[in-house]
């Protein structure tokens, strides 16, 4: 009998530790269940766990069940919930009853929302994850939180201590000074000032100026710029979708960091040795494209001419992408690390593209009023190599050693 009692007590003591992902348990079977999808390298997940641990010491009316999305079972259930709610593939995702919260800002905002849901669900039967899925989820009633810190709930920037990193040749750099808007503007601007597609636009304008038709210049060059913008947006979307494989994050992030460092070194080499001209296309390729341009502008503007211009812009953009390899990959990786909503991601991509196209707008304007100034583009190309090289080395260093800094921008 003593052995049986000892065995029973031992089982009671070790059982909670065997459950692993469950804590804040009590004997009350009507406890509200909080389902949390998380990953160990997610700083927001760590903040939420710290909050829930503290909350478990203050109240005993809830049970937390964690799902690690780096495990096969956790990832499968996470994929189900994400598809059901049509939300972004991010962490943490929290389910309380039939309510879903995407993200975690701080105890004063998201924490208060979790406690409000606990109070609301305290008088109803707990909802298992199976019941939640079978019921069809929240029917789109998902709360996506923002990083807020004021009492009014309005977004604001928390003061941060600088994170200084000493880089070769550049000295001490505070890497925290690069917010997402600044990163979008600077990287987009630097990415745009490469000569690989610039010379095609310049050739377009030269031929049109020789024809002497300002209306054709607006029509042809405007369509070329529009097609180039759309194509580059598609390129960024492809790279962002590529980064949406969260399970490969631990492998992909260091690889992108290495690529960024390599790209930074290459850009600095180009700044030191290059004359600012395109190295991707040879003379034969350039002549072939120039011939096509002459053929297009000599015709009347028709739907077939428009298709030809769009096709030319798309093919040239592939060449341009090879000229700036590394920058768009690093930029989209930083977006992925920040677990943004769809519209936030689109905003930063459009901001990037807007400044990516600045050089084209400048060249277009110069062509309309003082065409001889187009020679400045090679000077700007060299400057962009210097700025781009410095930024890519900083980004590569962060991706390799401090990815959590980029995820909190």
* Model confidence pLDDT, tens digit, residues 150-196: 333 333 343 444 434 333 334 444 434 557 788 788 777 777 765 55
d(CA 390, CA 327): 12
The confidence score (pLDDT) of residue 66 equals 92
263 in any annotated domain: yes
The confidence score (pLDDT) of residue 338 equals 73
Do 208 and 106 have their domain in common?
Answer: no
Categorize the per-residue pLDDT at 18 as very low, low, confident or very high, splitting at 50, 70 and 90: very low
CB-CB neighbours of 119 under 10 Å: 12
157 in any annotated domain: no
Q: Calculate mean pLDDT across residues 358-371.
A: 67
d(CA 35, CA 37): 7
149 in any annotated domain: no
190 in any annotated domain: yes
Do 252 and 283 have their domain in common?
Answer: yes
Which segment of 84-88, 119-123, 348-352 scores lowest on mean pLDDT?
84-88
Which segment of 38-47, 170-179, 217-226, 365-374 scores lowest on mean pLDDT?
170-179
Q: Calculate mean pLDDT across residues 256-269.
A: 65
4 in any annotated domain: no
Do 245 and 281 have their domain in common?
Answer: yes
139 in any annotated domain: yes
For the chain, what is the HEC assignment?
A: CHHHHHHHHHHHHHHHHHHCCEECCCCCCCCEEEEEEECCCCHHHHHHHHHHHHHHHHCCCEEEEEEECCCHHHHHHHHHHHHHHCCCCCCCEEEECCEEEECCCCHHHHHHHHHHHHHHHCCCCCCCHHHHHHCCCCCCCEEECCCECCCCCCECCCCCCCCEEEECCCEEEEHHHCCHHHHHHHHHHHHHCCHHHHHHHHHHHHHHHHHCCHHHHHHHHHHHHHHHHHHHHHHHHHHHHHCCCHHHHHHHHHHHHHHHHHHHHHHHHHHHHCCCCCCCCCHHHHHHHHHHHHHHHCCCCCHHHHHHHHHHHHHHHHHHHHHCCCHHHHHHHHHHHCCCCHHHHHHHHHHHHHHHCHHHHHHHHHHHHCHHHHHHHHHHHHHHHHHHHHHHHHHHHHHHHCHHHHCCC
**What total of structural domains would you count in the chain?**
2
Do 38 and 182 have their domain in common?
Answer: no
Categorize the per-residue pLDDT at 52 as very low, low, confident or very high, splitting at 50, 70 and 90: very high
The confidence score (pLDDT) of residue 64 equals 92
118 in any annotated domain: yes
Do 140 and 186 have their domain in common?
Answer: no
Do 132 and 225 have their domain in common?
Answer: no
Categorize the per-residue pLDDT at 8 as very low, low, confident or very high, splitting at 50, 70 and 90: very low
Asked if residue 258 has pLDDT above 50, the reply is yes
Looking at residue 85, which CATH number applies to its domain?
3.40.30.10
> Between the CA of residue 306 and those of 176, 201, 227, 298, what are the distances in Å?
45, 15, 10, 13
Do 219 and 114 have their domain in common?
Answer: no
Question: Any residues with CB less than 8 A from the CB of 187 and at least 6 apart, and which?
Answer: 327, 330, 331, 352, 388, 391
Asked if residue 36 has pLDDT above 90, the reply is yes
Do 112 and 51 have their domain in common?
Answer: yes
Q: Where does a domain end: 144, 177, 199? A: 144
Do 294 and 261 have their domain in common?
Answer: yes
Categorize the per-residue pLDDT at 247 as very low, low, confident or very high, splitting at 50, 70 and 90: very low
Do 119 and 231 have their domain in common?
Answer: no
221 in any annotated domain: yes
Do 136 and 188 have their domain in common?
Answer: no
Do 130 and 187 have their domain in common?
Answer: no
Which segment of 44-48, 336-340, 359-363, 372-376 scores lowest on mean pLDDT?
372-376
Q: Which domain holds residue 254?
A: 164-406
The confidence score (pLDDT) of residue 266 equals 66
Asked if residue 13 has pLDDT above 60, the reply is no
């Amino acid at each position: 009998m003593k052995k049986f009692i000892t065995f029973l007590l031992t089982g009671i003591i070790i059982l909670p530790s065997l459950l692993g992902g469950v804590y804040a348990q009590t004997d009350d079977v009507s406890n509200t269940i909080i389902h949390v999808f998380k990953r160990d390298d997610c700083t927001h997940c760590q903040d939420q766990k710290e909050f829930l641990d503290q909350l478990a010491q203050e109240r005993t009316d809830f049970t937390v069940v964690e799902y690690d999305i780096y495990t096969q079972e956790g990832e499968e259930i996470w994929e189900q919930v994400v598809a059901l709610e049509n939300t972004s593939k991010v962490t943490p995702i929290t389910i309380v009853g039939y309510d879903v919260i995407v993200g975690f800002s701080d105890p004063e905002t998201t924490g208060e929302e979790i406690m409000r849901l606990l109070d609301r669900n305290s008088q109803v039967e707990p909802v298992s994850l199976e019941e939640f899925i079978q019921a069809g989820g929240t029917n789109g009633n998902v709360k996506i939180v923002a990083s807020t810190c004021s009492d009014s709930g309005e977004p604001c920037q928390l003061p941060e201590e600088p994170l200084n990193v000493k880089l070769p040749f550049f000295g001490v750099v505070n890497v925290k000074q690069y917010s997402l808007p600044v990163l979008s503007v600077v990287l987009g601007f630097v990415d745009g000032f490469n000569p690989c597609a610039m010379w095609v636009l310049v050739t377009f304008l030269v031929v049109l100026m020789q024809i002497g038709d300002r209306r054709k210049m607006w029509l042809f060059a405007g369509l070329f710029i529009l097609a180039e913008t759309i194509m580059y947006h598609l390129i960024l979307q492809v790279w962002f979708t590529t980064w949406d494989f969260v399970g490969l994050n631990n492998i992909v992030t260091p690889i992108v960091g290495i690529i960024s460092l390599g790209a930074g070194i290459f850009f600095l080499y180009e700044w030191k040795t290059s004359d600012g001209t395109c190295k991707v296309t040879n003379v034969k390729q350039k002549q072939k494209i120039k011939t096509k341009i002459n053929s297009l502008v000599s015709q009347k503007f028709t739907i077939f001419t428009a298709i030809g211009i769009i096709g030319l812009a798309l093919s040239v953009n592939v060449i341009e992408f090879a000229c700036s390899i590394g920058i768009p990959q690093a930029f989209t990786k930083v977006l992925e690390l920040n677990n943004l909503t769809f519209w936030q991601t689109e905003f930063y991509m459009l901001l990037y593209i807007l400044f990516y196209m600045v050089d084209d707008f400048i060249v277009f304007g110069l062509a309309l009023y003082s065409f001889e100034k187009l020679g400045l583009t090679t000077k700007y190309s060299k400057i962009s190599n210097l700025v781009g090289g410095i930024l890519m080395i900083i980004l590569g260093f962060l991706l390799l050693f401090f990815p959590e800094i980029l995820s909190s921008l």
